[in-house]
A and B are shown apart, each in its own frame.
Chain A
Amino acid sequence: MKKYKLRLNINDIDYTLKVGAGETLLDIIRDQLNLTGTKKGCDSGACGSCTILMDGMAVKSCLVLALQAEGRKILTIEGLAQDGVLHPLQNAFVEKWAIQCGYCTPGMILTSKALLDENPKPSEDDIRMYLTGNICRCTGYQKIIDAVASVGQLQGERHGKK
Chain B
Amino acid sequence: MAKNKIIGRPFTRVDGRRKACGSSVYGPDIKMPGSLHAKFLGSIYPHAKILHIDTEKAGRLSGVKGIITNKNVPEVYWGFMVKDNPILAGDKVRFIGEPLAVVAATDPDIAEEAAELIHVEYEELEPVFDPEEALEPGAPLIHEGAEAYACTMPDIIRYGNVCGHTKMFGGDLEQGWRESDVIFEDRFSTPVQHHGFIEPHAATARFDLNGRLEIWTPTQAIFATRMALGEILGLPLNRIRVMGTELGGGFGGKTDITVEHFCALLAKMTGKPVKMQLTRSEMMTYTSARHSCVIYLKTGVKKDGHIVACEARLLFDTGGYAGHGPGVAPLGGNCILGPYRTPHFKIDSLSIYTNKMNFSFMRGPGGIQANFACESHIDSIARELNFDPFDFRMKNLVAEGDTSATGQRLEAVGIKEALISVGKMSRWTQRKKRKNRGWGLCCCLYEIVGLPSSALVKLNEDGSIHLVIGAIDLGQGSSTVLTQILAQEMDMAADQIAVTVGDTDMAPYDTGTFGDRVTFNMGNAVIEAARDLKRQLFTGAAAILERPVENLELAAKMILDRNDPKKAISLHELAMSSYYFQGGAPMGKSTFFAPFPAYAYEKVEGNPYAATPVHTYACQAVEISVDKETGVVNVETIYSSHDVGRMINPLGIEGQIQGGVMMGLGYALWEEVVFDAGRVINPNLADYKMPFAINQPEIRIDIVETKAANGPYGAKGAGNPPVLLPGAALANALYDAVGVRIRELPLTPEKVLYCLKNTGVQKEKF
Stretch in A2-10, A64-72, A93-101, A151-159 with 4+ CB within 8 Å of B: A93-101
A60–B735 Cα distance when bound, in Å, is 41
A39 adjacent to B198 (CB under 8 Å)? yes
A141–B659 Cα distance when bound, in Å, is 7
Query: Which A residues lie within 8 Å of B26 (CB)?
Result: 39, 103
Query: Which A residues lie within 8 Å of B684 (CB)?
Result: 42, 44, 46
The reply on B662 being an interface residue by CB < 8 A is yes
Knowing A39-B248, A102-B248, A143-B654, the reply to whether A97 touches B13 (Cβ < 8 A) is yes
Closest residue on chain A to residue B199 by CB atoms: A103
Q: For the side of the interface on B, what is the size category? A: 35 or more
Stretch in B97-105, B167-175, B224-232, B687-695 with 4+ CB within 8 Å of A: B687-695
A94 in complex: contacting residue of B12, B690, B696, CB < 8 Å:
B12
| B727, chain A: closest CB distance, angstroms | 16
A41 in complex: contacting residue of B23, B280, B694, CB < 8 Å:
B280
The reply on A160 being an interface residue by CB < 8 A is no
A140 adjacent to B198 (CB under 8 Å)? no
The reply on B475 being an interface residue by CB < 8 A is yes
A40 adjacent to B28 (CB under 8 Å)? yes
Interface centre among A42, A101, A144, A145 (most CB of B within 10 A): A101
A121–B74 Cα distance when bound, in Å, is 62
A137–B661 Cα distance when bound, in Å, is 11
Query: Which A residues lie within 8 Å of B686 (CB)?
Result: 44, 46
Q: For the side of the interface on A, what is the size category? A: 35 or more
Q: Which residues of A in the span 60-98 have a Cβ within 8 Å of any Cβ on B?
A: 76-78, 80-81, 86, 90-91, 93-97
Query: Which A residues lie within 8 Å of B661 (CB)?
Result: 140
The reply on A104 being an interface residue by CB < 8 A is yes
B655 adjacent to A139 (CB under 8 Å)? yes
A101 adjacent to B197 (CB under 8 Å)? yes
Q: Which residues of B in the span 21-55 have a Cβ within 8 Å of any Cβ on A?
A: 21-26, 28-29, 31
The reply on B329 being an interface residue by CB < 8 A is no
Query: Which B residues lie within 8 Å of A47 (CB)?
Result: 198, 685
Closest residue on chain A to residue B653 by CB atoms: A97
Query: Which B residues lie within 8 Å of A127 (CB)?
Result: 693
Query: Which A residues lie within 8 Å of B192 (CB)?
Result: none
The reply on A37 being an interface residue by CB < 8 A is yes
Query: Which B residues lie within 8 Å of A34 (CB)?
Result: 31
B662 in complex: contacting residue of A95, A101, A140, CB < 8 Å:
A140
Knowing A94-B12, A102-B475, A140-B660, the reply to whether A39 touches B28 (Cβ < 8 A) is yes
Closest residue on chain B to residue A137 by CB atoms: B196
The reply on B119 being an interface residue by CB < 8 A is no
B249 adjacent to A78 (CB under 8 Å)? no
| B579, chain A: closest CB distance, angstroms | 34
The reply on A109 being an interface residue by CB < 8 A is yes
> Given contacts A39-B248, A94-B20, A102-B475, could you give 9 more A-B pairs where the C-beta distance is less than 8 Å?
A36-B31, A78-B23, A99-B19, A100-B659, A102-B246, A103-B249, A138-B476, A140-B658, A140-B659
Pairs A–B under 8 Å by Cβ, sample size 15:
A38-B22, A40-B28, A42-B198, A43-B280, A47-B198, A77-B21, A81-B21, A94-B13, A99-B19, A103-B198, A103-B249, A128-B693, A132-B694, A137-B198, A143-B655
Q: Which of A's residues lie within 8 Å of B, judged by CB?
A: 30, 34-44, 46-47, 49, 76-78, 80-81, 86, 90-91, 93-97, 99-106, 109, 127-129, 131-132, 134-145
Q: Which of B's residues lie within 8 Å of A, judged by CB?
A: 12-13, 15-17, 19-26, 28-29, 31, 195-200, 246-251, 279-280, 474-477, 651-652, 654-655, 657-663, 684-686, 690-694, 696, 699
